[in-house]
Structure 1
Amino acid sequence: MTPRPRLLFVSPRFLFPADQGGKIRTTQILRGMKGGRFEIVLASPASSKAVNRYRDELAGICDRFIDWPEIAQGPLKDLTRFRHLFSLLPIPVISDYSPAGAHTVQQALANEADVVVFDFLHARVLAPEKLDRPSILFTHNVEAEIFRRHAEVASNPIKRAIWQQQFRKMQHYEAASVRRFDTVVAVSERDAENFSAIPGNHQVRTIPTGVDLDYFPYAAPGDEEHLVFTGAMDWQANIDGIEFFMEQVWPQVVARRPHARVTIVGRNPAPSLVERARRRNLPFEFTGFVDDIRQPVQGAAAYIIPLRVGGGTRIKAFEAMAMGLPVVSTGLGVEGLPLTPEEHYLLADSAADFAKALVRLLEDHSLRNRLSRQARDYVEAHFSSQAVADCFEGICRDTLDGNKHSRTRC
C-alpha cells in the first residue's frame, strides 16, 4: 500500500480545550480530515498534564502529536508581555516565539513533512527562514485590521498610541508573512480580498465557516427574558463588546424589560467587568470556563454579539444559530458570514438599535421562533463542519501537487 503523504500542522496554541473560535475551527477541520488523504502530524506547545488529560481528543484529530514545553504564564503575564513593546515584532507574535518550538518545527519539517500548515498568523514566528516544503498559512483573521479597530475605539490616549504602534508592526508582519507561503487560506471572501491585495503574495484560497450540527442540536428559544453571550473573556475584543453592552445598551433594555438577565459564558472574565456588574447589582452572571457551553445557554431568548472590534468570521454566530438561539449582532459581529438581517438575525450597530432589537425579540414570541427556525435551517443546508474539512483537505492536496490553478471548489 502506498503511504499517505504526511501533513505537518503547526499551531502556536495547544488546541484543547477548544474554547476559542480559532481553536474550534481548527479542531473541527482536523477531526474531519483524520483518516483521509493525509497522515496528520500535529505540533504545538503543551504541558504533560494537558497531553494526558486530552489524549483521546488528540487521537481524534491527528495520527501523531509532537510538542514542546509551553511558555509559563505567571500572574503578571499581561505586564511581562509589555517588555516586548519595543520589539520589531508585534507583542502577540513575539510572545509566541519559543526556541524549543522553533527547533521542534525545524526537525519535524526535515523528517516528517510532505506539506506543512502553519495555523494562525502567529505560527509563522516558529518557521525557519527558508521553507523547502509546500506550505500553507491558515489565517483566522486579518490581524492588522483588528489592531487598527482597537486603536479606533480606544478612549485612553496612551492605549490608543500603543494600539496604533502595534497596528503598524502587525501590518508589516502580516504582509511579509503571506508572501512566504505557497497558499494562504482565509476564512471569508473579505479577508481573502485583503490578502490578495498584498503585492508579491501567492495563492489565496477561502474556506467557509462550519459548525458541528450533531454537537449543537436545535431547540426552540425560551420564553424567559434570558440573554446569553459566549466567548473567551480574556480576549480584548470580547471585553470591549461586553463593556459596550453593559454601559450603553443594558440601561435601555432594562428600562423596558426590568426582569431581563444576562449570562456571559467564557473563560477568565476580566475582574473589572465582574466587579462593575456586582457593584451595580446587575443581573449578569459570568460563568468562567465551562466544559460544555450548551447547558448554560439552553433555553435562552436571545444571543448577543455586541462586538466593535475583531476580524475573520464569528463561529459563535453559527453555533448560536444551530442551537436555535435568535441572534442580535452588530455588523462587525457577523462580518464575513453570508447572513441576511431580519431573516437569519437582527442587525444593530448603535446602542439604541441594539436595545430596540433585544426588546423587540423579548416581546415578540413569533419573531423569536421564526428567526430560530430559519437560522437553523440555513446552517444545516450550507455550513456543516465536515464540508469545511473536505474543502481544507482539497486545498492541502492542491498545494502539495503544486497546483496553482485550484481544482478544489468550496
Structure 2
Amino acid sequence: MNSARPRLAFVSPSFLFPNDTGGRIRTTNVLRGLKGGAFDVTLLAPASAAQQRDWAGEIKGVCDRFIAWEPESARPQWMRALGLWRDLPVNVQSDRTPAGLRAVHELLAGERFDVVVFDFVHAAVLRPAHVDAATVCFTHNVEAEIFARHVKAAGNPLMRAVWASQAGKMQQFERTALRAFDTVVAVSERDADWFREHYQLAAVDTIPTGVDLDFFAWREPPALDEAHAPTLVFTGSMDWAANIDGIRHFLAEVWPRVRQARPDARLVVVGRRPPATLVEQAKALPGVQLTGYVDDVRPYVHAAHVFIIPLRVGGGTRIKAFEAMAMGCPVVSTAIGIEGLDVQPDEHFLLRDAAQDQAEAILRLLGDAALRNRLSRQARRCVEERFGHRVVARVFERICLDALQRRATAAVAA
C-alpha cells in the first residue's frame, strides 16, 4: 500500500463481476481508471469465496485491496412482497444485510480513509451515522423517477398502486440519503438538475457515461444479403423491469409491423434471466430469439444491422447505447432509451417513440446501407472523441479530490 496517496474506500452493494448490468459496467470502468492514480483504493463488496477465486484477476485490476462480506441468498418473490409494507423501498431493503452492515461499519471504524464512496444510493443503507471522511454517493439513476415512470406505464390498477407506494418511499429515502453526502455524482446533467430541483442538493457533480473503446471495437455494419438476414439486436439485463417492459411492448406493437414488411427479419434479445412470461411471448412470435446470459455481447451486436433501445421507463443513462455506437451498430431509440446522453438524433442515431415510427425507422435502416454506414461512423467518432472510459475515470477522480479538499478547507475554517 502506498501511504503517500490519500485513501479511498469504495462501497459497492453488489459484486461487480461478471459485468452484466449497466451499473456494474460503469462502476468497473471508473474503478479501473482510478487504479494507480491519485488514490489508494479499497473496494468493499459482497463476494463468496468462489467469486473471489474465479474473478481474482478482474478484482485485482480495479482496486489496490479488496474486502468482501458474505452475500445473502436471493430472496424468493413472496418474501420480497412482504417487504412492500415496510418503510424502505423493497430494492433498498435487499441491500441492508447484517453482513454488509457489519463489514462497512468495522472497516470505517477500524481504519482511516480520506474519501468514502457509496455506489448507488441503495448503498446508503449500509452507511454508519458518522463517517470521518469526505463522503461521495455515486448515483447511476434518479431512482424515484424510475418508480414514477413505472406508475404511468402500469396497466394493472393493483400494480399501479404498488408502484405508486414504492415511488413515494423511494423519493423519501433518496432525498434523505443524498442530502447526507458531501458530494453527489450524477451520470448526466439532466439527473444533476433533477437532484438540485427536487432535493435541493448543492454539491452535485456530473461524469459522462464512458465506454471501453478497445474492448468495444468498431466494425462496419454487415452486409444485408442472402447470407445475412436482416437482424435487430437488444442487449440488457432481462431481469430488470424497465428492459422487460420495453421488450414486451416492442414485441407486441413494433415487431409485427417490421415482420409484415420484412418477413425474413430476426430479433435477438441478449440478456440474463428473462422471465417466463416474456419467454412464452417470444416463442409465439416468428423470428425472435432470447439468448439468456452470454459471456460476450459483442458477436451478437457485430452481427446485427440495427440496435434497438425501446425503453419506456428507466433512468440514468444507457451504457448499452454507447457500446452499440462504439461497435458500429446503428441505433434506433426512444427518448427515454437515449436520455442523458449528449448525442444528436439523425447524426448519431435515430430517435423514435411511437411504435409506428420505430418500425419505419428500423425498416429504413434495413433498406439503406449508406445510412447504416453513415450513422455507424459518425457515432463511433463521437464516442471516441468524448466518451472513452479513461476520460470518465479522470473526471471521477477529480470530483473525489475536490470533495477531499473542501472537507480539509472546512476543517481549517472550523
Which residues in structure 2 correspond to 1:102-117 (within 5 Å)? Answer: 102-110=101-109, 111-117=111-117
Q: Deviations over 1:228-271 (max 9, x none)?
A: 00000000000000001000001111111111001111111111
Alpha-carbon distance in structure 1 between the residues aligned to 2:323 and 2:403: 30
* CA deviation map 1:65-104 (0-9, x unaligned): 1111111015xx2222111111111010011101121111
Any conservation in 2 of the 1:46–1:67 contact (CA below 8 Å)? yes
Conserved 8 A contact 1:8-1:112: no
Match of 2:363, as an amino acid?
V
1:408 aligns with none
- Taking a change above 3 Å as real, the CA distance of residues 151 and 304 of structure 1, as seen in their structure-2 partners, is same
RMSD between aligned residues:
1.4
Q: In 2, Cα distance between the equivalents of 1:381 and 1:54?
A: 31
Query: 2:285 & 2:83 partners in 1: Cα distance?
Result: 38
Distance (Å, rounded) in 2 between the aligned partners of 1:158 and 1:266: 28
Give how far 1:201 is off: 3.1
Q: Which of 371, 376, 379 pairs up with 1:375?
A: 379
- Tell me the residue number matched to 2:66: 65
CA distance in 2, matches of 1:261, 1:98: 43
1:186 and 1:404, CA in 2 relative to 1: closer, same or farther beyond 3 A? farther
Query: Aligned-pair distance for 1:394?
Result: 0.6
Cα deviation digits, residues 337-369 of structure 1 (max 9, x gap)? 011111000011010000010010001111111
Range with greater deviation from structure 2 (354-363 or 107-116): 107-116
Q: Distance in 2 between matches of 1:198 and 1:149?
A: 16
- CA distance, structure 2, for counterparts of residue 221 and residue 199 of structure 1: 44
The one of 231, 248, 256 aligned to 2:261: 256
CA shift for structure 1 position 281: 4.1
Q: Which residue of 2 aligns with 1:395?
A: 399
SS in 2 for 1:333: coil
Residue 265 of structure 1 corresponds to: 270
Q: 1:310 to 1:58 in 2, by over 3 A?
A: same
**Structure 1 counterpart of 2:84:** 85
Distance, in Å, in 1 between the alignment partners of 2:211 and 2:274 is 25
SS of alignment partner, residue 104 of structure 1? helix
Identity of aligned residues (%): 54
Amino acid corresponding to residue 91 of structure 1 in structure 2: V
- Per the alignment, residue 389 of structure 2 pairs with 385
Give the direction of change, closer, same or farther, for the CA distance of 1:199–1:332 in structure 2 (3 Å limit): closer
CA offsets 1:33-55 (integer angstroms, 9 cap, x no match): 10111111000111111111101
Alpha-carbon distance, 1:299 to partner:
2.4
Q: CA deviation at 1:132?
A: 2.5
- The structure 2 residue matched to 1:343, chosen from 336, 343, 347, is 347
Distance 1:178 1:253 in 2: 44
Return 5+ residue gaps in structure 1 as ranges.
406-410
User: 1:160 Cα deviation (Å)?
Assistant: 0.4
- Give the Cα separation in 2 of the matches to 1:163 and 1:282: 33
Which residues of 2 match residues 266-305 of structure 1 at below 5 A?
Answer: 266-278=271-283, 280-305=284-309
Check the 8 A contact 2:46/2:68 in 1, yes or no. Answer: yes
**Aligned partners of 2:199 and 2:280: how far apart in 1?**
47
Q: Which residue of 1 aligns with 2:206?
A: 206
Q: What's the counterpart of residue 195 of structure 1?
A: 195
- The answer on whether the counterparts of 2:134 and 2:407 sit within 8 Å (CA) in structure 1 is no
Distance in 2 of aligned mates of 1:192 and 1:161: 28
Q: 2:237 aligns with which of 229, 232, 239?
A: 232
State the one-letter code of the partner of 1:196: R
Residue type matched to 1:147 in 2?
A: F
Take 1:367 and 1:198, find their aligned partners in 2: how far apart are those partners? 41
Letter in 1 for 2:394: D
Indicate whether 1:308 and 2:312 are aligned.
yes
* 2:282/2:290 contact within 8 Å kept: no
Which AA in structure 2 matches 1:102? L
Counterpart AA for 1:158:
L
For the residue of structure 2 that corresponds to 1:162, the secondary structure is: helix
Gaps of 5+ in 2: 410-414
User: Structure 1: which amino acid aligns with 2:63?
Assistant: C
Whether contact under 8 Å (1:180, 1:201) holds in the other structure is no
CA separation in 2, counterparts of 1:131 and 1:202? 20
> CA contact under 8 A between 2:71 and 2:99: conserved in structure 1?
no
